[in-house]
Structures are given as structure tokens and as C-alpha cells.
Amino acid sequence: MTVAFFSGKRRRAAAALGAVSAGLLVLSACDKPTPLVTVTIGSDSVHAEAACYNDGEAIKESEIQDCLTKKPTETVKVAMDDKVRMGVDPEIAENGWTLLFGAQPVEQEPFTKTYRTIPGNAFFSSMTGEPTTRTAVSVMETKGKKVVGIWNFQFEKE
């Protein structure tokens, strides 16, 4: 009786092919991570994934308000004299992004750079002029008139 065995070289090649195939199978089951938004104060940075993101496609109008009011996953301590640096992934900047304080847009036109600096005291005055100690801060990615992604942070006065 004759039994065919693989040589050592073929056995290693078959094992490597099997490992690569298994790795690709595992990776295909993973969701693509959402782009990140980063807040940096001094040397401390906080990153957040999107509260709502639809792989670069528009979020339904009926879901936007719920996305803006989702509880932030990250809280950032900010002193009045801090410089707050906001950074977004390049794909967010390509489309344009807007800051919102308490679900209210801060600017008229979307920002198209990946990075901006804002004084800490800008986050703690309300629409009525009364000082506040916490502010819900959102970054909203837009593509034309459509909302593509929303990231939420809670800023607290230090």
C-alpha cells in the first residue's frame, strides 16, 4: 500500500494558504470602523466614533435629531483659557463639517479642513448670554445638503 504524503515544503505552503484564507474570512465579517473625530487640549486627546454614520451615505432626516441628542461617549474637561483643537479624518473634511453647540449650528458654512482651534470660553456661553458649565458639542459631517455623520462630545467647564 502506498500513501502519498506532502513534502515539508508543500505542507508549509498549504498551512500558509489556509491561514491567509481564514484571516480574510475573519476580516470580511468585521464592520468598517467609522471615521474619528479628535478633541485635543494641551497634550490630552479624546477620540470618538460616530453616534450615527451610514458608510458615507445620507442619514435619514427622521433620525438626525435622535443622533444629535444621543448621549456622548466622551466627556472633555475644558478651562476657559484652554485652546481646544478639533480634528477630523480627511474623508470628513472632504465633504465638510459643522460644529454644533447644544444641537445648534455655530457657523453657516461647513468647514473643509481637517483641523481647527477654538478658544475654550466659546463653549460656555448660552444663547441667552448666561454662562453654562456643560455643553453638548457635536460635529456634523455634510455632503451638500445631506447629513452624513454625527459625533457627540460633552464639554464640562474645568
Residues 6+ apart with CB under 8 A from 155: 75, 76, 78, 123, 124, 134, 135, 136, 137
Backbone dihedral angles phi then psi of residue 8, each to the nearest 5 degrees: -55, -40
Using one digit for the tens of pLDDT, what is the confidence trace for 20-50? 444 444 444 456 778 999 999 999 999 999 9
Using one digit for the tens of pLDDT, what is the confidence trace for 75-125? 999 999 999 999 999 999 999 999 999 888 988 899 999 999 999 999 987
C-alpha cell at 74: 466622551
The reported pLDDT for the residue numbered 37 is 97
Q: What is the pTM of this model?
A: 0.78
